[in-house]
A and B are shown apart, each in its own frame.
Chain A
Amino acid sequence: MEMLDDVQRQALDAAMRVASELGSLGGDLADASWLRGFGIPGTDSNEREPGSRAGNLAGTPVDVGRLRGDVVRAAETFAELVRSLLDVGFDALDELARRPAPQPAGSAPPGSIATVECAIRNDRGEAVRGARPLVPGLVSGAGAPLDAVVSVRPEQLDLDGHERVVVTVDVHVSPVAAPGRYHGLLVVSGLPDTAIPVSITVVDVTSVSDDDD
Chain B
Amino acid sequence: MTTTESPPATGARSSDTLRVPADLLEYYDELVRAEVQRTLADGADTPLGRVIASYPSRRGKGLRPALLLATCEAFGGDLRDGLATAVALELMHNAFLVHDDVEDDSARRRGQPSLHVEHGVAMAVHAGDALAVRAILPLLDQPRLSAHLVRRVTREFLDTASRTLEGQGMELGWRDDPRIDLGLDDYLRLVLAKSCWYTTIFPLRAGCLIGGRASIPLGALTNFGFLLGAAFQVRDDLLDLTGDPAAHGKEARSDLREGKRTLPLIHLVGMVEGRDRTWLESFLGRPPASRTDDDLATVLDLMDRHGSITTAQAWSRGLAIGARAAFAPAFERAVSPFHVRGIEQMIDFVIERVV
Contacts and interface: CB of A to CB of B under 8 A. Distances in A.
Nearest to B316: A11
Given A25-B226, A26-B222, A14 B188 contact: yes
Contact of A8 (B147, B148, B317): B317
Given A2-B324, A18-B188, A26 B226 contact: no
Interface string B221-234: 01100110010000
Which of B184, B226, B322, B326 is packed against the most chain A CB atoms within 10 Å?
Answer: B322
Interface string A18-35: 110110011111001111
B305 interface: no
Contacts of B188: 14-15, 18
Contacts of B215: 84
Nearest to B205: A26
B217 A73 contact: yes
Contacts of A87: 148, 151-152
Interface SS of B by simple majority: helix
Interface range, A side: 35 or more
A10 interface: yes
B183 to A, nearest CB: 9
Which of B189, B218, B319, B321 is packed against the most chain A CB atoms within 10 Å?
Answer: B321
Interface in B44-70: none
Interface of A: 1-2, 4-5, 7-12, 14-15, 17-19, 21-22, 25-29, 32-35, 38, 72-73, 76-77, 80, 83-84, 87-88, 90-91, 94
30 contacts: A9-B318, A11-B322, A14-B184, A15-B226, A15-B227, A15-B322, A18-B189, A19-B223, A21-B189, A22-B192, A25-B223, A25-B226, A26-B219, A27-B219, A34-B223, A34-B326, A34-B329, A35-B325, A35-B326, A38-B322, A72-B219, A73-B217, A80-B214, A80-B218, A83-B152, A84-B148, A87-B148, A87-B151, A87-B152, A91-B148
